[in-house]
Amino acid sequence: MSDIIHLLPDSVANQIAAGEVIQRPASAVKELLENAIDAGSDTITLVIKDAGKALIQVIDNGSGMSETDARLSFERHATSKISCADDLFNLNTKGFRGEALASIAAIAQVELKTKKEGLDLGSKILIEGSEVKEQEPCSAPKGTSFSIKNLFFNVPARRNFLKSNPIEIKHIIDEFQRVALAHPNIAFSMYNAENEVFNLKKGSFRQRIVGVFGEKYNQKLVPVAESTDIVTIDGFVSKPEFAKKTRGEQYFFVNDRFIKNAYLNHAVQNAYDQLLSKDQFPSYFINLKIDPSKIDINIHPTKTEIKFEDERSIYAIIRTSVKQALGKYNISPTLDFEQETSFDIPLSKRMDTIKAPTIKVNPNYNPFSTDVSSSNKSSNNGAIRAAAKQESKNWESLYDNFEKSTTEIIEHQPQENVEQQVISSNWDEETERNRTLLQLHKKYIFTQLKSGYLIIDQQRAHERVLYEKFNTQLKTKKSSSQQLLFPETIEFTSADGELLNEIKPEISALGFVMDKVGRSSFVISGIPSEIKEQNIKQTIEKLLEQFKLNNSELKLDKKENLATSLARSASIKAGQYLNIEEMNNLVDNLFACEMPYSLPNGKPTIISLNLDDLNKQFNY
């Protein structure tokens, strides 16, 4: 019987490794950016086309590679970062596995140009599917230029599983932001289809946060700093009033490496206890400096998960430092039990004269005196007590002829107020002809039925009406738009601006008229007629936030996601007063929908209660 176990070819082994390391274009972007940082670069440029499917190019001015190193870098487990197993527990670099370049070369067409400082010529290598097609000297600046073309060209099944361009671009921007935030001392720039998305200069950590997310973040940040023997913490958290509905800007960096850790995230969330509701999430940007021997980062191929030696202590330190920062800057309420309140004397001005306190005493005051005249001399309190005593003598006369007077008042009261009449027996017939609607707590609409009553959630009802209307507009590409008298210019973050630019055709089909100006600004000159008299900037920001939330939770297609997101952001909210005409229109439009009883996510819009259930509550 022949042997059945054999070694896999390197090309096959590299493709298997690529399935773990390179899951999508964003994974390749992360590996190339980290290699550029390890090369000692202070300027890095990222260029992508077709959401990274056609081209991913990273250019740096680092140390570069020799001809031999350039060729050897594509071999599996070839690395300059470690030389023995003990080095795994003292890592100060990004990459160390030696799998990234070999995995990328196995599933793409790769072009590498690199040159070390002091050499006249650099090296150029072309690889397709782990096969070296060309290697020759070339003219190149100091550093490395790495181009990935046609990612997954030889693995069509993997390419078919990639998401739409907006989603893939979002993942690329996420990876770019994580690397850029961790290294504010390096200048980063990013271009998408020749459009500049980011241009980040060297600066402080706060400047880098503002550069990535926009100038408005400058007023949202509260600094956090703490130094202990276990960990050193510095960074920023957001003020509670700027919390979001999605887990957006939440970043932990351990030794300049982005990580994901739900346990530490709970520590920050717990520090905001009683400041935020359960569906609100704060933003935070926290750097942790820990002895490399106290952590293990070699537990996942993407190196975004870390095992801590003393995780409980780090949890307590993060929670305490964030809570202290919020209290220090008067964000959260605090009580100082050590302060002596008797010494809270306001400071006087230098030229002010000090007035001695005086006490006024009435020597004629007698609290036991019953004389009205003497009490008038002392104070008005005596007069009030005397008047009350005088009136209390005839208290029995107050109830004389009480039954007779009460009956006369009831008989002679005019019966013009319909709401205070006794409900007649034919009330149900009148209700059918004249529907009665009542708004409860500016949130629900209450209406009656023959068999009971309905309670309608006004926000969900309007959301259902708008969803079906927007969904129809996206399918038919027919929408109504109202032009703004004064066009409004709105500036978004680079990530939101790029996302908005990708879904612009669908946004326009809903009735928005917008033009991109600059890197991430848009001029809005027309809006859908359904969102009139609303804050346009706030509506679009909520639309994008809801769009990203739906992508991560509901997995909707782009058109349905947009219809759901815009309906959510443009719908009337709880707490808004509605008059009778508005309630009638809303109820009529709701029952004209194809599915009026629930939202697309399954949440009910209407609750019907039986009259028999109500009677049981009163023990009838």
Nearest of 528, 537, 539, 548 to residue 568 by alpha carbon? 539
Q: Report the C-alpha gap between 514 and 505 in whole angstroms.
A: 10
Instruction: Render pLDDT for 438-483 as a digit per residue (tens, 0 to 9).
Output: 888 889 998 887 778 889 999 999 999 999 999 888 888 787 788 8
pLDDT of residue 465: 93
pLDDT-based confidence at residue 508 (cuts at 50, 70, 90): confident
Give 68's contacts (C-beta < 8 A, 6+ positions apart): none
- pLDDT exceeds 90 at position 361: no
Residue 297, Cβ neighbours under 10 Å: how many?
20
pLDDT of residue 232: 94
Helices (H), 477-556: 494-502, 504-509, 536-553
Question: Which H or E run includes 113?
Answer: strand 109-115
pLDDT of residue 370: 59
pLDDT of residue 554: 60
pLDDT-based confidence at residue 83 (cuts at 50, 70, 90): low
Residue 241, Cβ neighbours under 10 Å: how many?
10
DSSP state of 52: G
Residue 601 vs residue 342, higher pLDDT? 601
DSSP state of 586: H
Residue 456, Cβ neighbours under 10 Å: how many?
26
Instruction: Render pLDDT for 381-422 as a digit per residue (tens, 0 to 9).
Output: 555 555 555 555 555 565 565 555 555 544 554 444 434 333
pLDDT-based confidence at residue 253 (cuts at 50, 70, 90): very high
Record the tokens describing residue 47, joined without a space.
């260029």
pLDDT-based confidence at residue 430 (cuts at 50, 70, 90): very low
Instruction: Render pLDDT for 3-47 as a digit per residue (tens, 0 to 9).
Output: 777 777 766 666 666 666 788 899 999 989 998 998 899 999 999
Compute CA 324 distance to the chain's CA centroid, rounded to the nearest angstrom. 23
Q: Mean of the pLDDT values across residues 274-294?
A: 88
Q: Report the C-alpha gap between 438 and 431 in whole angstroms.
A: 13
* Domains of the chain and any CATH numbers: 10-200 (3.30.565.10), 205-328 (3.30.230.10), 456-607 (3.30.1370.100)
pLDDT of residue 613: 81
Nearest of 172, 73, 87 to residue 123 by alpha carbon? 73
- pLDDT exceeds 70 at position 377: no
pLDDT-based confidence at residue 535 (cuts at 50, 70, 90): confident
- pLDDT exceeds 50 at position 610: yes
Please give the C-alpha separations between residue 123 and each of 47, 113, 341, in angstroms, as whole numbers: 21, 6, 75
For residues 17 and 27, the answer to whether their CB atoms sit within 8 Å is no
DSSP state of 83: S
Residue 154 vs residue 435, higher pLDDT? 154
DSSP 350-412: TTPPPPPP-----TT--TT---HHHHHHH-SHHHHHHHHHHHHTTGGGGGTTHHHHHHHHHHT
For residues 207 and 60, the answer to whether their CB atoms sit within 8 Å is no
For residues 444 and 455, the answer to whether their CB atoms sit within 8 Å is yes
| % of the chain residues with pLDDT over 90 | 29
Q: In what order do the strands lie in the sheet with 452-457?
A: 437-440, 444-448, 452-457, 606-610
DSSP 151-220: TTTT-HHHHHT---HHHHHHHHHHHHHHHHHH-TTSEEEEEETTEEEEEEPS--HHHHHHHHH-GGGGGT
pLDDT of residue 462: 93
Nearest of 436, 417, 440, 439 to residue 428 by alpha carbon? 436
- pLDDT exceeds 60 at position 1: no
pLDDT of residue 504: 86
Residue 351 vs residue 306, higher pLDDT? 306
Query: pTM of the prediction?
Result: 0.69
Give 449's contacts (C-beta < 8 A, 6+ positions apart): 608
pLDDT of residue 106: 87
Please give the C-alpha separations between residue 419 and each of 424, 436, 439, 577, in angstroms, as whole numbers: 12, 12, 16, 21
For residues 122 and 113, the answer to whether their CB atoms sit within 8 Å is yes
According to DSSP, the β-strands at 284-289 and 250-254 are parallel
Considering the chain, what is the average pLDDT of its residues?
80
Record the tokens describing residue 459, joined without a space.
């926000």
Nearest of 160, 142, 113 to residue 41 by alpha carbon? 142
Q: Report the C-alpha gap between 28 and 20 in whole angstroms.
A: 12
- pLDDT exceeds 60 at position 132: yes
Q: Report the C-alpha gap between 67 and 504 in whole angstroms.
A: 46
Within 13 Å and on the Cβ side, how many CA atoms surround 582? 12
Q: Report the C-alpha gap between 564 and 291 in whole angstroms.
A: 47
Beta bridge partners, 123, equal: 114, 137
- Of the ranges 3-7, 39-43, 566-570, 579-583, which one carries the lowest mean pLDDT score? 3-7
pLDDT of residue 98: 58
Question: Which H or E run includes 16?
Answer: helix 10-21
**Residue whose structure tokens are 């707490």:** 575
